């Protein structure tokens, strides 16, 4: 009996999201990586449709802490650096310390439990200057441990 319910839920979920995924695949048809991602996203949403349904009790509170109310974090994109391809980045790093240069991974806390995920990754100056120029004061770099 539960297999039939699972199959029905999968069919309904697939029917609901297929329209949106098809439109995105048409919009990004020239990018094979995006089309592959969208196919995998569709499979993952069908497999994990239950995270969109029941949000009651303590499990709902935990989910709310790690998930956006409207869209679970697992389906968001964390863009570290965004710029036009024509832009030649020139980044000036005034305070060259480890985290400002290499980036960091932040954490969040809920009911005493610390967690992190890909959405808490922050870019450093090296990421921002990729394909361009990173300007730093050499003396400040040498003064900071773990930077040079």
What are the tens digits of pLDDT across the range 38-58? 999 999 999 888 877 765 655
State the total domains in the chain.
Answer: 2
Residues 126, 80 share a domain? yes
- Residue 145: both structure tokens together: 């441990």
Please indicate, yes or no, whether residues 79 and 147 belong to a single structural domain of this protein: yes
Answer yes or no: is pLDDT of 9 > 80.
Answer: yes
The Cα–Cα gap between 70 and 89 comes to 34
Looking at the structure, tell me whether residues 77 and 122 fall in a common domain.
yes
User: Phi first, then psi: what are they for 114, rounded to 5°?
Assistant: -95, 130
Residue with tokens 């994109």: 77
Buried b (16+ CB within 10 A) or exposed e, 48-79: ebeeeeeeeeeeeeeeeebbeeeeeeeeeeee
Structural domain for 22, as ranges:
1-53
Q: What is the pLDDT of residues 19-34, one digit of tens each?
A: 999 999 999 999 999 9
């Amino acid at each position: 009996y539960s297999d039939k319910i699972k199959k029905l839920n999968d069919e309904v979920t697939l029917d609901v999201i297929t329209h949106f995924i098809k439109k995105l695949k048409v919009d990004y048809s020239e990018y094979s990586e995006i089309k592959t991602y969208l196919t995998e996203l569709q499979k993952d949403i069908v497999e994990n449709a239950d995270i969109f349904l029941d949000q009651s009790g303590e499990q709902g509170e935990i989910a709310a802490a790690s998930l956006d109310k409207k869209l679970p974090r697992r389906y968001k994109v964390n863009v570290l650096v965004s710029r036009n391809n024509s832009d030649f980045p020139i980044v000036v790093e005034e305070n060259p310390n480890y985290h400002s240069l290499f980036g960091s991974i932040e954490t969040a806390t809920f009911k005493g439990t610390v967690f992190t995920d890909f959405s808490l990754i922050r870019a450093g100056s090296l990421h921002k200057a990729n394909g361009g120029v990173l300007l730093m004061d050499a003396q400040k770099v040498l003064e900071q441990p773990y930077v040079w």
